Amino acid sequence: MKLVFCGTPRFAVPTVQALHGADHKIALAVTQPDRPVGRTQELVAPPVKQTAAALGIPVTQPDKIRNNAEFRAQLEFIQPDAIVVVAYGRIIPPWMLALPRLGCINLHASLLPRYRGAAPIQWAIAMGEEITGNTTMLLEEGLDTGPILMQRALIIRSDQTALDLFEEMATGGAPLVLETLKGLADGTLKARPQDHSRATLAPLLQREDGRMNFIEHTATVIKNRWRGFQPWPGAFTALEGKKLIVH
């Protein structure tokens, strides 16, 4: 297939590599702009841009996409069979959802409808879940509400942090995307609607989520939140007015 890939962080890199290694042509990689990092505020390219450049895939980094006429014309010229979205970090506008003949296919790191939102891996661990997984779905205008294409479950080990699970789920999600594209191409894969009554949310993490409450929370809850909020916001508490970071 001729594809457009939208993604930004390291989590999306295995999927880019898998698509490039299969019989698909990534006509364009869309990622967020370079961001200043660290004390020096040096501009650093996102991992997807670095990977795409190394593979010889054209890259674009629009600040905005909803009303970006130049970007829209670029995608309409490509006429992709599908747009694959993995942790892009932007809401896909209606014109983009309607563009490819097979739709916009999203890899989401939870067993939808559980943990819709920006931080599904972190919240699944923080809430003490023992099983999670990856979902491929057709994007629509709602937040992770689109029809499910494929799912693959994964056991969360009691010693795993979010950082550990990120790597495992990123690697496991790539072949799921390939299987999804194959099923859509040969007509054997049909989307099924989500059960919205079972939905839970995984909102963007805030610094305060890392505060450990040793009075109100049990030891198990504290341990799960510590595991889930690595590497950010981490875990911290206070004693006699001093901030203590829990390593």
Report the pLDDT averaged over residues 90-109: 97
Residue 3: its pLDDT value, please? 98
- The whole-angstrom separation of Cα 84 and Cα 106 is 6
Judged against a pLDDT cut of 90, whether residue 237 lies above it is answered with yes
What is the reported pTM? 0.95
pLDDT per residue over 152-167, tens digit each? 999 999 999 999 999 9
pLDDT score at 148: 98
Domains defined for the chain, CATH in brackets: 2-198 (3.40.50.170), 207-245 (no CATH)
Average predicted confidence (pLDDT) for the chain: 96
Q: What does the pLDDT read at residue 189?
A: 97
Confidence (pLDDT) at 39: 85
Average pLDDT over residues 16-20: 98
- pLDDT of res. 23: 84
Question: What pLDDT is attached to residue 38?
Answer: 83
**pLDDT tens readout for residues 31-58:** 999 999 888 889 999 999 999 999 999 9
pLDDT tens across 183-233, in order? 999 999 999 999 999 999 999 999 999 999 999 999 999 999 999 999 999
pLDDT at 175: 98
